[in-house]
Amino acid sequence: MALQVCKDIDSIRQWVDKWRSNGETVGFVPTMGNLHAGHLHLVEQAQKRTDSVVVSIFVNPLQFGPGEDFNAYPRTVDKDRQKLEAFGVDLLFLPTNAGVFSNGASTTVAVGDLAGRHCGRSRPGHFSGVATIVCKLLNIVQPNQLFLGEKDFQQLLIIRKMISELNFPVQVKGIPTVRESDGLALSSRNSYLNALERQSAPLLYRSLCLAKDQLKNGRRDWAGIEKEQIETLEKAGFTVDFFSICSVEDLLPAANEHASWVILAAVMLGQTRLIDNIRVMRSEF
């Protein structure tokens, strides 16, 4: 089937209703566009696990704060459409602001304490904006499975929590981060990096790997590990927002009794915000 493009709610629901009536399962990959290999890996996983796949492209104003890059965020819809068509995606959903947010719309989704930690401290309101748009898109698309990347690990946990607590009939599939050959996590914002910054950017992932190795070797001086990696990154020209070893369940500070941890990091390199994480499982050592 050729790629179908829908811009309004009624038309996408007609397609989904048709698939459902035929007994097909529906996978959904929400994006903000400027698609890269990481997005396409999500699509690939959705195609393997469901019968029909919907991809949305919508640059959500609610998740950008004052002074952030909403206006500058790359919008490459024509190229994205070509990539999705070549990849065999069934339907591309291109909603407009007016279509998503009715006049005077004031309902938002509050996601509790988890949204105030880490990224939420420096980007107040960001995760409420993310949760609100995902909630709306799930109500519009009504998929069986939702596919999200693990690079935005805090976001993944928040969406899982929202879906569970609001009783959405959808399964969330977290998909491992896709990286460049030098370890840099793929991100639409990587295009902001200049040549020198691009050379430095993989140090973020290397710092996460070094911290993980120390944990695997038995070190439990959480604050000391964090401090060392922050200093290393800052000496290399990064401005560190946070570098935190946390419980994988709730992103509270790590403790010995946790079965696994996640190391979260967010930095600025020049004008570009980079985020990344790495999981540490006790079963690995």
| Topology at the third CATH level for domain 188-278 | Pantoate--beta-alanine Ligase; Chain: A,domain 2 (3.30.1300)
Rounded average pLDDT over 190-218:
97
Please count the other Cβ atoms lying within 10 Å of the Cβ belonging to residue 269: 22
User: What 8-state DSSP symbol labels residue 192?
Assistant: G
Rounded average pLDDT over 166-177:
98
pTM of the predicted model as reported, rounded to 2 decimal places: 0.96
pLDDT tens column, 122-159: 999 999 999 999 999 999 999 999 999 999 999 999 99
Helix axes 203-216, 222-235, angle to 10 degrees: 160
Q: Transcribe 40-66 into DSSP letters.
A: HHHHHHHHHH-SEEEEEE---GGG--T
pLDDT tens column, 12-36: 999 999 999 999 999 999 999 999 9
The domain 4-175 is placed in CATH, from the list 3.10.20.740, 3.40.50.10470, 3.40.50.620, 3.20.20.105, at: 3.40.50.620
C-alpha 158: how far from chain center = 11
CA separation for the pair 38, 177 (Å, rounded): 7
Q: Which residues are identified as catalytic?
A: 39
In the structure, what pLDDT confidence band is assigned to residue 283 with cuts at 50, 70 and 90?
confident
pLDDT tens column, 222-281: 999 999 999 999 999 999 999 999 999 999 999 998 889 999 999 999 999 999 999 998
In sequence order, the β-bridge partners of residue 261 are 247, 280
pLDDT, position 282: 80
Please count the other Cβ atoms lying within 10 Å of the Cβ belonging to residue 88: 13
In this predicted structure, the answer to whether residue 104 has a pLDDT above a threshold of 80 is no
Rounded average pLDDT over 186-206:
97
Boundaries of every domain in the chain: 4-175, 188-278
